[in-house]
Chain A
């Protein structure tokens, strides 16, 4: 395996200002504070941590949705940290994101068909009307949506189906890297497994490289090959799935594991 993405000493500081009338520069929130890791070809890398640990910011920096304050991101060996314009657009085709909230990440005024077809429009692909429709309907089938629902609007779909729309949109350009930021946290329990299994199936089918961000250790364990544990902008532990859950090295990782409800099952030792 070779690295699809190499992240080196990545830093993101958000400046904070003090005072309402006279704004003075205060310090900076060090959201991501010197993070280095590789994303190997074809693996699922998990990033786990609590609110504010910098996991989403890291993902957004890799996607170039945020500008890094320092460090670099290399995609297939090329530094993309300072790319602009057309060159950035070309790289962006290769990486797509699935967002947490399937309600706010779909434009309510557009049909499902045009939402999933939007990446084609942006990149000028499948320009013929019939051709684009066919491509979109194939995608809908891939993610388990009924292609006949092409002309429906997001409000006609349940949360799980909307998340499938998000997945279809992300797959439209056949990206090499897929970043899923808390893709199931907003879904009902009985629906979560549908989306998790879909992501697993798609990954093996298309050989995708996935970064899976979650605060839920059980979900991370089910989905990921390697896992980075983040805390206050830093990676405190990066290990294979098996190593992390069998022999967690960092005290913070052990605290996280012990905090999973049902993990301290001294009273009840029976689930499964």
Chain B
């Protein structure tokens, strides 16, 4: 396979969950690509579909009655149609996942080593002794001190950060080509978080794997990701390289996220600009642009027309799903960036409200 081919290509993926209250459109037609050795950050709030899309990649939503359509091409092979047995051959082997909560992802009754050995022997035909040696090696690799003693300890004897390291060790057991990390540091303290993020970067350099990191924290993706996809209500609303996304964000939701989070550098006297309203229902998502009820710049027609994810003029690698004119977006962001609130930005840019019909 040539280097230009993506390792994973997700095409128009849709995941629906039928529930008593109606069909939940958890993922509503998303497309993205990940290349060898690169890191993709998927950013979104709870209910944006970021976790469901990744669980689906691993075939982990099948048991929950999910209806999946679209294609998930891993090295050119579509994972959507694979049998459960074929999927088991890929999961934990070519594609591995690190979950948010390390305490509930490790089995409390079994020693950490036994769980690592199981992960190794699930995919490799090796003796227990060899698998155990590999387990010790893996614990050492993720920076757990004294791994030959630690391997015989139970999860409760590990601290939160060490448990997450053990989870990463387990994910790395079979040298996956793709590591999916779902909020890998959310449950951890900030100093431990910094260590885990540094560890992931280092392991990526050494092992050359691709990483998908799913998070609600823009700081984490700023540090780790090469490319970023912003998800809202089951869709990707903006996708770009990390540099472009932070220097020239295009979507009003991305602006909202950037302006509503306090930073260590921003002005303290400048109030945060919250995004009004609350995340929408995925059973009856808003008509037109899903973000329009919360968007300060929405025009009446935005409630009717559904924007597609399209390249930004002049920046073919930067995609956005927004109905505002590119030039208007650029001027709005310039205003916001200078510290204006959305109403002031609107007035300065002079977007005329269409008379309501």
Interface residues of A (CB under 8 A from B): 50-51, 158, 160-161, 188-194, 196-197, 200, 215-219, 221-223, 241, 245, 255-265, 267-268, 270-272
Within residues 135 to 170 of chain B, which ones have a CB less than 8 A from any CB in chain A?
A: 160
Interface residues of B (CB under 8 A from A): 45-46, 160, 185, 189-191, 193-194, 197, 216-220, 222-223, 242-243, 246-247, 256-258, 260-266, 268, 271-276, 278-279, 294, 337
Selected from A190, A197, A215, the residue in CB contact (under 8 A) with B190 is A215
* Contact yes or no, B247 A272, CB < 8 A: no
Residues of chain A contacted by B217 (CB below 8 angstroms): 189, 261
Selected from A158, A190, A218, the residue in CB contact (under 8 A) with B262 is A218
A258-B194, A270-B243 are contacts. A196–B272 as well, Cβ < 8 Å?
yes
CB B97 to nearest CB in A, in angstroms, measures 21
Chain A interface mostly: helix
* Contact yes or no, A189 B216, CB < 8 A: yes
* Contact yes or no, A265 B222, CB < 8 A: yes
Selected from B189, B223, B272, the residue in CB contact (under 8 A) with A262 is B223
A186 to B357, CA, bound (A): 41
A51 to B161, CA, bound (A): 12
Selected from A50, A257, A270, the residue in CB contact (under 8 A) with B246 is A270
* Contact yes or no, B268 A221, CB < 8 A: yes
Residues of chain B contacted by A267 (CB below 8 angstroms): 223
Of chain A, the residue at the smallest CB distance from B160 is A51
> Would you give 7 A-B contacts (Cβ < 8 Å), ordered by A?
A190-B279, A197-B274, A255-B191, A259-B193, A261-B219, A261-B220, A271-B222
Selected from A160, A215, A270, the residue in CB contact (under 8 A) with B278 is A160
Total contacts A-B at CB 8 Å: 122
A265 to B266, CA, bound (A): 15
* Contact yes or no, B273 A193, CB < 8 A: yes
Residues of chain A contacted by B193 (CB below 8 angstroms): 259, 261
A158 to B280, CA, bound (A): 11
Selected from B46, B219, B256, B275, the residue in CB contact (under 8 A) with A260 is B219
Selected from B45, B160, B242, the residue in CB contact (under 8 A) with A188 is B45
CB B258 to nearest CB in A, in angstroms, measures 7
Selected from A51, A158, A190, the residue in CB contact (under 8 A) with B274 is A190
* Contact yes or no, A190 B257, CB < 8 A: yes
Given A255-B191, A260-B219, A271-B218, 4 other A-B contacts at CB below 8 A?
A190-B45, A190-B257, A194-B274, A222-B266
Residues of chain B contacted by A221 (CB below 8 angstroms): 262, 264, 268
A271 to B268, CA, bound (A): 16
CB A258 to nearest CB in B, in angstroms, measures 7
Residues of chain A contacted by B218 (CB below 8 angstroms): 189, 262, 271
Residues of chain A contacted by B263 (CB below 8 angstroms): 218, 262, 271-272
* Contact yes or no, A262 B219, CB < 8 A: yes
A183 to B30, CA, bound (A): 34
Closest 4 CB pairs of A and B: A261-B219, A262-B219, A222-B262, A193-B274
CB A212 to nearest CB in B, in angstroms, measures 12
* Contact yes or no, B262 A215, CB < 8 A: no
Residues of chain B contacted by A194 (CB below 8 angstroms): 274, 276
Selected from B223, B268, B273, the residue in CB contact (under 8 A) with A241 is B268
CB A214 to nearest CB in B, in angstroms, measures 10
A267 to B221, CA, bound (A): 12
* Contact yes or no, B189 A50, CB < 8 A: yes
CB B279 to nearest CB in A, in angstroms, measures 6
Residues of chain A contacted by B276 (CB below 8 angstroms): 194
* Contact yes or no, A264 B223, CB < 8 A: yes
A51 to B243, CA, bound (A): 33
